[in-house]
A and B are shown apart, each in its own frame.
Chain A
Amino acid sequence: MSNIKYILGSFGDPDEMMHGIEKLQENNIKIHDVYTPMPIHGIEAKLGVKRSRLDIAAFFFGITGTLTMLTGVYLATVVDWPINIGGKTHFALPDFIPITFELTILFCAFGLVGSYYASTHLFPGRAPRVMDLRATNDRFIIAVDAKENTEHTKIDELLKGAGALEVKYNERKYISYE
């Protein structure tokens, strides 16, 4: 048994890489992940990545902001320290629309980006899990788990047939780890 952990198909062109994904899938070879220097449209459907629910999260974060500001202002201007300004109503809603809007946006943005970082495990100082250093530059990488998919020569042929510029056999999962 070899020590090869991952087989990487390194493509120079996104269309060829998409072709490579199709080839592998036609042959029932499971793809571990794909690493690209830019977003590839339509790839999530191919790889069965589910639709993001971040929009729903964003909505609820936003609503939280709206309610926080309305509640806060109500407590301050009606309950805690009502001020009579020419006999006008204490809770002067039109005046509070700008700040309520701002807090909605603030909560929505921070909640959204926070959930995004949490769900994709992004945080300052996290060790990057990189399989190929050129995946952030000019290569489009398809990674296949070599232990699960044992027909290495076939994978090699399929990847090269689809236009892979090189096929790498990595004995370590993440080369970025020291």
Chain B
Amino acid sequence: MSGHNESILREPLITGKDITYAQITDDILLPVESKPNKAWWIGFILSLCGATLWVVAVGYTFWFGIGAWGLNKTVGWAWDITGFVWWVGIGHAGTLISAVLLLFRQNWRNSINRSAEAMTIFAVICAATYVVSHMGRPWLAYWVLPLPNQFGSLWVNFNSPLVWDMFAISTYFSVSLLFWYTGLLPDIATIRDRAAGMRKKVYTVLSFGWNGNVKTWQRFEAVSLILAGISTPLVLSVHTIVSMDFATSVIPGWHTTIFPPYFVAGAIFSGFAMVLTLLLVARKVLGLENYITMFHIESMNKIIILTGSIVGVAYLTEFFIAWYSGSEYEQYAFINRATGPYWWAYWMMMTCNVISPQLLWFKKVRTSIAATWILSIVVNIGMWFERFVIIVTSLHRDYLPSSWTMFTPTWVDVSVFVGSIGLFFTLFLLFLRVLPSIAIAEVKLLLKSASEQAKLELIKDGHLDKEHVAEYVESLEKFDSVKQEEYAKI
């Protein structure tokens, strides 16, 4: 670990001067150990209003049934499933960061994995509520489980992607929760050992008695690696199965084999956008600029360009295949998407998902916090429209022109969606206050090798290729948390 130095060509993952292990603990635990500031309260109250709206809207749906939504006999799926897929997609970034990037030994994941995983869990909670509320009789939700029931042993339809989806989402949720919580144990122990009184008691229970001895750490690393290994195919399977909810049907516009990879890319795309939306604000408000650096932001932006472009290629491929298939229903579905009554939704999707993320090819844009933040929101708007386009425009003009119709959301549809955003932010803001938003132990691992101060020491020692040093110093220019004066002297 610290016995050897990291290449000077790699950009630092921790910036700032005189960062010590104690400093890392203090910085990251500051929001947990102090009283919330005004910004937090404003955000929290707003989110709580949203969450209340959600409770009202979902309660209304439970009471009056899903007739409260704008669904009709042609469009039987609309905002609910759009919201569901949108949230599940957002949830994908957390596992991607914590599992896939761990397997690829991407150390920059260490300071963003914790909050991204928390985001995953909250997003999947939001997604699951749509499924439950769409059941009409949510108290019978357990019917989706393969339980022998009172009508004889009639089973769920194991051939149905909706049943697969139930397995996928519940496995994904519970495995993500395990992964997240196991990773939290050492950090909860850190809070515990610094706390007193009632706080100490609570964190003692939550820490499971963690004491950080050799064997526990060694096993911890083994467990993390295996969980990462099994979560990687899991996260890919989840959105694959979500896409099969559509792809296995015979609706023109849905019945395509491109759906699984296209949905997975879209999920990662929207997930990273949401991570950026949250973390760009959190790093500023919580003062974590030294740990979530410009390198992290730029890296996430690069993943956004990649996945956004995959999504763009998928859109074009769908069009090409619709034409190439020679099926006039398929062709009509796509022409109707782009030029029919929902043209605005289609072009909104195209603009937000394919065109505007291309701006991130410019280094100026992807290293600008304001531009990145705006683009991250644009991407999520686009991804919501993508699901709306796929779902509503494929359904609203079916095989019988006499039943062609439009979908108009009711106030309940809108409130469930807006409310779920409130619920998500409420949970996330509470998380920031009670648990460390950055994996403390994992960031400490980077201090001796990948921090700016360690690299500065190396430069001061001499022995390095001058060109490499110059390249490194140049790469620091984009960092908003690095003081350039230090390097001017060298």
Q: Which residues of A contact B (CB under 8 A)?
A: 12, 14-15, 33-44, 47, 49, 52, 54-55, 58, 62, 72-73, 76-77, 80-81, 85, 92, 95-96, 98-99, 101-103, 105-106, 108-110, 112-113, 116-117, 119-131, 133-138, 176
Contacts and interface: CB of A to CB of B under 8 A. Distances in A.
A77 B155 CA distance: 8
A119 to B, nearest CB: 7
A92 B159 CA distance: 8
B342 interface: no
A49 B214 contact: yes
B186 A37 contact: yes
A128 B204 contact: yes
Given A37-B441, A54-B223, A98-B241, A47 B158 contact: no
A72 to B, nearest CB: 7
A101 B233 contact: yes
B230 A41 contact: no
A106 B175 contact: yes
Contacts of A133: 193-194
Given A37-B190, A39-B221, A126-B209, A95 B226 contact: no
B340 to A, nearest CB: 33
- The B contact surface, by secondary structure, is helix
Contact of A52 (B164, B185, B213, B218): B218
Given A124-B208, A129-B209, A106 B158 contact: no
A40 B221 CA distance: 10
Given A14-B1, A41-B1, A105-B175, A116 B22 contact: no
Given A98-B241, A99-B158, A116-B219, A72 B182 contact: no
A133 B189 CA distance: 10
B37 interface: no
B445 A95 contact: no
Contact of B237 (A14, A101, A109): A101
A38 B442 contact: yes
Interface stretch (B74-82, B166-174, B384-392, B461-469): B166-174
Interface in B170-200: 171, 174-175, 178-179, 182, 185-186, 189-190, 192-194
Contact of B182 (A36, A116, A130): A116
B212 A98 contact: no
A133 B204 CA distance: 13
B154 interface: yes
Contacts of A96: 158
Interface of B: 1-3, 20-22, 25, 146, 152-155, 158-159, 161, 163-164, 167-168, 171, 174-175, 178-179, 182, 185-186, 189-190, 192-194, 204-223, 226-227, 230-231, 233-234, 237, 240-241, 244, 440-442, 444-445, 448
Q: Which 9 A-B pairs have the closest CB atoms?
A: A126-B209, A138-B21, A138-B22, A122-B208, A76-B155, A52-B222, A102-B167, A39-B217, A38-B444
B209 A112 contact: no
Contacts of A134: 193
Contact of A38 (B168, B185, B215, B445): B445
B248 to A, nearest CB: 10
A40 B194 CA distance: 22
Contacts of A52: 218-219, 222
Contact of B441 (A39, A73, A105, A124): A39
A116 B178 CA distance: 12
A101 B174 CA distance: 15
A106 B445 CA distance: 30
A138 B20 contact: yes
A121 B190 contact: no
A136 B213 contact: no
B2 A14 contact: yes
A95 B158 contact: yes
A122 B171 contact: no
A101 to B, nearest CB: 6
A58 B226 CA distance: 8
A37 B444 contact: yes
Nearest to B178: A113
A133 to B, nearest CB: 4
B448 A109 contact: no
Contacts of B442: 38
A129 B211 contact: yes
Contacts of A55: 222, 226
A33 B212 CA distance: 10
Contacts of A108: 226, 230
Contact of B215 (A120, A123, A124): A120
Contacts of B448: 14-15
A54 B222 contact: yes
A76 B208 contact: no
